[in-house]
Chains A and B, each alone.
Chain A
């Protein structure tokens, strides 16, 4: 831990070196986050900004805050972001079309509001407040200091925010949840159902799709002994989509058989 007893408002040598090294990098990364095309790249750059913020916190003796920033934001929140973005695929880039109408003015209003909030907060912290410094605030240990503030002075705000977050999480779950019209059949139920049918033709399972010398894929029907294609050998999904290749061209012709 960098723990140098300095006057408030001054910076030690190593800390300023760290700042001048990381600050341009994090500013570049946050600009890049807005400008790069692929969603995963901007998520990565955002993760980098979060990590460098955490390093700044640690350099300023807010050790607990810095580590928690990495655990919670970089480790959990960004990972969930990535989880969703990854499903978009490696080649896709964002389309610039507006899907929801009126999104742009709302976004601009929110951005201005948030910017105003940030400026007023930073302004208040810089001009209007006597600074105490972390050494005094950390007198009983960084984690203890935060815990004391959180559970005494700011306990109401803390509880309100946590209630808000829980409501948001529940809301997301309710919105995303869809009622299943029937319960999922397990392997066991399917097996029982096969034997319960009056016709036991498919009891041992459906025939596999076509395997030929020239083609070997799930979209070619297998051939029955009489040379007819067997439609039950193809997945119902492929049939519905019409993604089926004719199996007749892989059949042996009469002449070939005679040879």
Chain B
């Protein structure tokens, strides 16, 4: 039975209980992921990280939460009070809503009922997640505007521009998945990946999604909305106490949410790794939850890894990358995927399909080599030669003859 049929038979109390469990799991996962991030980043930077409160510092995030709650709650004089309070509320409520359509397990035994750990199954589930994400941006933008000071405003503006641009790329990367799976429902997309993961078949889409999900969650190296070197704290500069804690919470829940969506769309969802399919029946089907969380936490690790490794991008480079690289590339990729899809549905002769693939590859190589050549020409033109050296020592001008002589 498919997940959609299983869920539609749920009585009310199961739905309520599931909602509660998903909410509690999100909060717990957030607390643990804050601890995990600090430990992993510390290890990458040759430090120990939090290790005082509880075993391995496991309770550190909990203690930090209590500390935040006990701090003084300030509202700046210049702030727009209603919007200032509303912003963290919007941010937090929306980030939890995305989990309603994510299938966490396959068929499981839930207190004697056969059901699946998925709150609801919409026929346009993935679009629903995008819609919720786009409402969630309001939290950040309104926080920036309502604070009534410059840094938050700049942070809010940056983040709105950023999220709009990267949502376009993200949406386009999902189109290929929809075309290939023939559905926009999360559970059907998981079912369509029974033989091959989408990450393998639609690797370019996976790559684009993975990049744009970092941009979408405002995380390093794309965390320009809260770039502490330029904007102090960005949109949440003026927030303190529990209101800040809500932003903190929503940032981490968002990371888990986009990771869960990536798992569902590209990594086979709750299914086991290839070759380990027998484990899916363990614990009455509940072992699929373990697989799901292993994949989600792998994504989370990559998020932390990126933060520990890459420097922040400059804002204009970041926007250029989104609009001039990701979006045109994904548009071209969608054309290729849909052509192949129509070809396979019409049962075109095999040589035609192969010829199409080869011609696409040929065009790709041609275009990239041409652009490389023009870049190299530009670089050669921009070289400065024959500078008369003054008599006193000056720093070496890049690309001058002296530098080339010195190597």
Contacts and interface: CB of A to CB of B under 8 A. Distances in A.
Contact of A40 (B79, B130, B145): B145
Interface string A6-21: 0000000000000000
B122 A1 contact: yes
Interface in B123-174: 123-124, 127-128, 130-131, 133-135, 137-138, 141-142, 144-146, 148, 153, 156-157, 160-161, 164, 167, 171
B83 A143 contact: no
A141 B145 CA distance: 41
Given A51-B135, A79-B137, A200-B390, A1 B123 contact: yes
A195 B402 CA distance: 15
A113 interface: no
A169 B194 CA distance: 43
Contact of A143 (B124, B135, B141, B142): B124
Given A74-B135, A79-B160, A195-B397, A67 B124 contact: yes
Nearest to B127: A67
A125 interface: no
Interface residues of B, number: 36
Interface stretch (A83-91, A96-104, A159-167, A214-222): A83-91
A59 to B, nearest CB: 13
A71 interface: yes
A192 B397 contact: yes
Given A63-B124, A70-B134, A86-B141, A75 B83 contact: no
A166 B124 CA distance: 27
A46 interface: no
Interface in B159-215: 160-161, 164, 167, 171, 184
Contacts, number: 91
A90 B394 contact: no
A204 to B, nearest CB: 9
A142 interface: yes
A203 B83 CA distance: 49
Contacts of A70: 131, 134-135
Contact of A90 (B131, B145, B398): B145
A70 B133 CA distance: 10
A142 B160 CA distance: 31
Interface size class of A (residues with CB under 8 A): 20 to 34
A159 B318 CA distance: 33
A58 to B, nearest CB: 9
A80 interface: yes
Contact of A44 (B142, B153, B156): B142
Contacts of A63: 122-124
B80 interface: yes
A23 B128 CA distance: 22
Given A40-B83, A63-B124, A80-B164, A75 B184 contact: no
A70 B354 CA distance: 41
A78 to B, nearest CB: 8
Interface string A127-162: 000000000000001110000000000000000000
A79 B78 CA distance: 23
Contacts of B397: 192, 195
Contacts of A76: 134, 164, 167
B137 A141 contact: no
Contacts of A203: 394
A217 to B, nearest CB: 16
Interface string A185-203: 0001000100100001001
A196 to B, nearest CB: 8
A79 B123 contact: no
Contacts of B384: 192
B123 A90 contact: no
A51 B83 CA distance: 17
A94 to B, nearest CB: 15
A141 B134 CA distance: 24
A71 B390 CA distance: 61
B390 A143 contact: no
A38 B184 CA distance: 39
Contact of A75 (B157, B161, B167): B167
A248 B145 CA distance: 39
B123 A142 contact: yes
B161 A83 contact: yes
Given A44-B142, A51-B135, A76-B164, 13 more contacts: A38-B80, A63-B123, A67-B122, A67-B127, A67-B131, A70-B131, A74-B131, A75-B164, A83-B160, A86-B156, A90-B145, A91-B148, A142-B124
Interface of B: 78-80, 83, 122-124, 127-128, 130-131, 133-135, 137-138, 141-142, 144-146, 148, 153, 156-157, 160-161, 164, 167, 171, 184, 384, 390, 394, 397-398
Interface of A: 1, 38, 40-41, 44, 47, 51, 63-64, 67-68, 70-71, 74-76, 79-80, 82-83, 86-87, 90-91, 141-143, 188, 192, 195, 200, 203
25 contacts: A38-B80, A40-B142, A40-B145, A41-B83, A44-B142, A47-B138, A63-B124, A67-B124, A67-B128, A68-B127, A70-B134, A74-B134, A75-B130, A75-B131, A76-B134, A79-B138, A82-B142, A86-B145, A87-B157, A90-B80, A90-B148, A91-B148, A143-B124, A143-B184, A192-B397
